[in-house]
């Protein structure tokens, strides 16, 4: 049987290799370290953790990443198995001994009879004779391979820097303060004329907001990232430093809008949020890319009327990160539409985080193995964490509702990616009406309970098909 080739030995590539080999298909894992190093990696180990050693919350009842942990364990994840084996104390989070974890992943793959590890750089696109390839090269994809991908897909295929605005859960926005309206009621190519949520500020609120921005702490670029500021994506705090009115005549301009809650009073400034996913559960803060530290962001953005109780699906940032415009370029099975022998996995697809990268590697590996064995498996339902994540990557994102630039950005798993539950319970076991935090907890529990049932059904069906 011809092998499946995987380029990249990070978490996604390692997980994909394990899943393929466990399915009985030979795999060659190509990792360029130590032949060619990167600016961030320190060792030649597979699945090296280059930043934090945390896989974040392990709470599978109330947390979306905890639910993803649960699903990956259910599906025989190598990354979760070795993470559990090398856990270090971290409260409710799963954190690992980074060296022990990487060494264990490397040893498991080296010992597997169907895994071959090739220590060499794949410079440019894979050879034509490789008929099944998973590219899992992450945010530090080698320049030669990145150029090859661009040659297949066009110049806008890859982003090399994120300029990310915060993303807010819709149900945490106070629509008694905010309202839906596009500037001048203009309907863009995919819009209706009421496509933005608008949060109004009076003069005192705007001045206090600017003061907070100017006083806030920012994160620094890593040495190898450079400083990727350009006028199209300046951080809001940099704009504020250029003059107190800069934001008011930039992303916070109040023109062409009428506050439906108070139509006779013109706002001094307006923050707009644009729908970010097809479900309408997430909205991004338009033009609010930032290098503010996360704690500062949450406090400052909750100063904005309408966002005082905002829950963030992700906070803003600007950093180096190579990733595809996946909703446009990949099919539902993570294959490149321009060359379907190439499948992508991990951060390069537009997911964010160790666990999410490994999860997409797990799915890509299973899809590639099934394809090699002459089977075709279904994608997990969007009601599961894994299904919700891949749905966001390949089709759940709204490309644009206006003439603006592409807006697809890397995303961690979060409950905003899950389809809402219809007819959710409004009262607790004691008969009292659920409010505030209790209502939010009940919603999360309902989402994870549904996800577990759906994942069990999907995994059981996949196992039955493999046994035929």
Q: pLDDT tens-digit profile of 145-177?
A: 888 888 888 756 666 566 678 999 999 999 999
416 is known to lie in a ligand binding site: no
Map tokens 């005549």 to a residue.
249
10 is known to lie in a ligand binding site: yes
148 is known to lie in a ligand binding site: no
Q: Answer with the residue of higher pLDDT: 309 or 98.
A: 309
Q: Answer with the residue of higher pLDDT: 274 or 433.
A: 274
26-60: per-residue pLDDT in tens? 999 999 876 565 555 566 789 998 777 899 999 99
8 is known to lie in a ligand binding site: yes
Predicted confidence at residue 230, as pLDDT, reads 44
Mean pLDDT value across residues 436-442: 81
Query: Using CA atoms, how far apart are residues 393 and 386, in angstroms rounded to an integer?
Result: 11
Predicted confidence at residue 149, as pLDDT, reads 85
Rg over CA atoms, the chain: 23
Helices marked H in 161-302: 203-215, 236-241, 294-301
Predicted confidence at residue 128, as pLDDT, reads 92
Query: Using CA atoms, how far apart are residues 75 and 136, in angstroms rounded to an integer?
Result: 20
pTM score, whole prediction: 0.83
Beta-carbon neighbour count of residue 120 at 10 Å? 10
Kindly report the average pLDDT of the chain as a whole number: 87
400, pLDDT greater than 70:
no
Predicted confidence at residue 289, as pLDDT, reads 84
398 pLDDT band (50/70/90 cuts)? low
Map tokens 């991908």 to a residue.
149
* Percent of the chain surpassing pLDDT 90: 57
For residue 139, which of 50, 32, 31, 35 has the smallest C-alpha distance? 50
Mean pLDDT value across residues 83-106: 92
Highest mean pLDDT among 2-16, 114-128, 419-433: 2-16
Predicted confidence at residue 90, as pLDDT, reads 84
432, pLDDT greater than 90:
no
Query: Using CA atoms, how far apart are residues 270 and 286, in angstroms rounded to an integer?
Result: 11
Predicted confidence at residue 224, as pLDDT, reads 41
Predicted confidence at residue 76, as pLDDT, reads 97
CB 286 within 8 A of CB 257: no
Mean pLDDT value across residues 306-322: 84
184 pLDDT band (50/70/90 cuts)? confident
The answer for residues whose C-beta is within 8 angstroms of residue 467's C-beta and 6 or more apart is none
Query: What six digits make up the tokens of 225?
Result: 């990232």
299 is known to lie in a ligand binding site: no
Per residue, the 3-state secondary structure of 380-419, as one string, reads: CCCCCHHHHHHHHHHHHECCCCCCCCCCCCCECCCHHHCC
392, pLDDT greater than 60:
yes
Predicted confidence at residue 360, as pLDDT, reads 98
Query: Using CA atoms, how far apart are residues 215 and 126, in angstroms rounded to an integer?
Result: 49
To which H or E segment does residue 164 belong?
Answer: strand 158-164
Query: What six digits make up the tokens of 162?
Result: 């994120």
Predicted confidence at residue 238, as pLDDT, reads 86
Helices marked H in 39-122: 64-74, 78-85, 98-111
For residue 311, which of 436, 195, 423 has the smallest C-alpha distance? 436
Predicted confidence at residue 126, as pLDDT, reads 93
């Amino acid at each position: 049987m011809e092998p499946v080739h995987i380029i990249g030995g990070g978490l996604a590539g390692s997980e994909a290799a394990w899943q393929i080999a466990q399915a009985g298909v030979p795999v060659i894992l190509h990792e360029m370290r130590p032949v060619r190093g990167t600016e961030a990696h320190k060792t030649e180990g597979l699945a090296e953790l280059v930043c934090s050693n945390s896989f974040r919350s392990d709470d599978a009842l109330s947390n979306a990443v905890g639910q993803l942990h649960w699903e990956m364990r259910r599906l025989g994840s190598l990354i979760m198995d070795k993470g559990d084996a090398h856990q270090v104390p971290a409260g409710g989070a799963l954190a690992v001994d980074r060296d022990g974890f990487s060494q264990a992943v490397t040893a498991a793959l080296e010992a597997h009879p169907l895994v071959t590890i090739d220590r060499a750089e794949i410079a440019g696109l894979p050879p034509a004779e490789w008929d099944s390839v998973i590219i899992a090269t992450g945010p530090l994809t080698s320049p030669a391979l990145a150029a090859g991908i661009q040659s297949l897909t066009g110049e806008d295929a890859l982003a090399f820097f994120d300029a990310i605005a915060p993303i807010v859960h819709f149900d945490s926005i106070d629509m008694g303060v905010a309202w839906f309206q596009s500037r001048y009621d203009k309907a863009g190519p995919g819009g209706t004329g009421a496509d933005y949520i608008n949060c109004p500020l009076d003069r005192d609120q705007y001045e206090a907001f600017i003061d907070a921005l100017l006083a806030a702490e920012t994160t620094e670029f890593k040495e190898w990232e450079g400083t990727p500021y350009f006028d199209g994506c300046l951080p809001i705090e940099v704009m504020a430093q250029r003059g107190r009115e800069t934001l008011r005549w930039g992303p916070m301009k109040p023109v062409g809008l009428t506050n439906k809650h108070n139509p006779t009073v013109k706002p001094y400034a307006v923050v707009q949020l644009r729908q970010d996913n097809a479900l309408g559960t997430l909205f991004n803060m338009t033009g609010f890319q930032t290098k503010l530290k996360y704690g500062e962001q949450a406090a400052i953005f909750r100063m904005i009327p309408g966002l005082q109780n905002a829950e963030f699906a992700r906070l803003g940032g600007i950093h180096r990160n190579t990733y595809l415009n996946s909703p446009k370029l990949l099919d539902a099975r993570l294959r490149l539409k321009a060359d379907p022998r190439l499948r992508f996995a991990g951060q390069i697809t537009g997911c964010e985080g160790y666990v999410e990268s490994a999860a997409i590697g797990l799915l890509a590996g299973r899809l590639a193995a099934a394809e090699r064995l002459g089977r075709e498996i279904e994608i997990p339902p969007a009601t599961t964490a894994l299904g919700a994540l891949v749905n966001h990557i390949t089709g759940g994102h709204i490309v644009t509702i206006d003439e603006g630039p592409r807006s697809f950005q890397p995303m961690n798993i979060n409950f905003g990616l899950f389809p809402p539950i219809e007819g959710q319970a409004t009262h607790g076991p004691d008969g009292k009406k659920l409010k505030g935090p209790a209502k939010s907890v009940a919603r999360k529990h309902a989402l994870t309970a549904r996800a577990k049932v759906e994942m069990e059904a999907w995994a059981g069906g996949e196992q039955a098909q493999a046994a035929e």
